[in-house]
Structure 1
Amino acid sequence: MNGETDHDRLIQAVARTRDREAFAALFDHFAPRLKAYLMRSGAPPAAADDFAQDAMLTVWRKAELFDPARARAATWIFTIARNRRIDVMRRDGRVLPAPELNLGEIEPERPDDLFQTREDETRVRSALRNLKPDQIEVIQLAFFQDLTHAEVAQSLALPLGTVKSRIRNAMIKLRSLLDQPVGEHS
């Protein structure tokens, strides 16, 4: 890890002394981000809000289990939320939806660049829809949430080799799909 973050220290304060101010700061920062992440993963807004609150309650109850040498606070907290949602969906017998990817905002400089950017974004989104959900998940964490492969492995409780293999296979499939003429994989 790159050293402790402020969020790491806040979780440790919750673990040591049940510091309510530290927890409030964590809640204010992470609850809206968890809700947005869960909504992008297919949860309806009310359910995403419930999962986010449940995850933060787990942070309060299990803060002493956090180890900043193994993961950053954000990775640990997002993993809790993701795992809670998966547990509930499995318990209810529902199929896990493929996570939605946020490609972010791109601001081209010229009007013709705007058209090309939108066309490229549409092609990438279309290609991503052709990946398996487990491939989408590793791509999202590695490229859109900027986690290292080791952090992705820890976040998903998978072996590092499995994560690397999924990313490699996803990239090969994406390259193949994006090399096709427009409209062939939609």
Structure 2
Amino acid sequence: MANQDDWGTLIQRVSTSQDKAAFAALFRHFAPRIKGFLMKSGASAALAEDCAQDVMATLWNKAHLFDPARASAATWVFTIARNRRIDALRKSRRPEPEDLPWGPEAEPDQHDALELRQETARLAEAIADLPEAQRDLIARAYFGELSHSEIAVETGLPLGTIKSRIRLALDRLRHKLS
């Protein structure tokens, strides 16, 4: 079968009567093409094979969701394949539970702790030296975790003024701390 209408008919036969012959024809046609499609998009041969198998299992289990008025059979199948590839990428980028740190974090050594206290004191001094208007906006933005728009609503100041004052304050802090 080479006609797209025929592929849609086969999917509908799988949907209505779990037609194994129709599914076999669909599998023979689409599985190698899905594997090639996934490998061209950067998947390893093993991952492409697994995804192709998963796509074909999805076709068998969800053939009733195919609507020939919305998409051709190939479009429907390759959309499933694309989504499986995206899911596989997301899964591969998630850390495995054994890769996550467990237990309390190690205590910093004395030198690092002293350095952190000194930097914190210098920052507090630099913030205290800012003009009141800039100090207030820095406190709201960074310690109050408010967006610039939220600060504008709270203070009644124009958004541009808030952005300018925060930028000036950050420049002063950078200069003072460098």
Q: Normalization by structure 2: what TM-score?
A: 0.50
Structure with greater helix percent: 2
TM-score, normalised via structure 1 length: 0.48
Bigger Rg, structure 1 or 2: 2
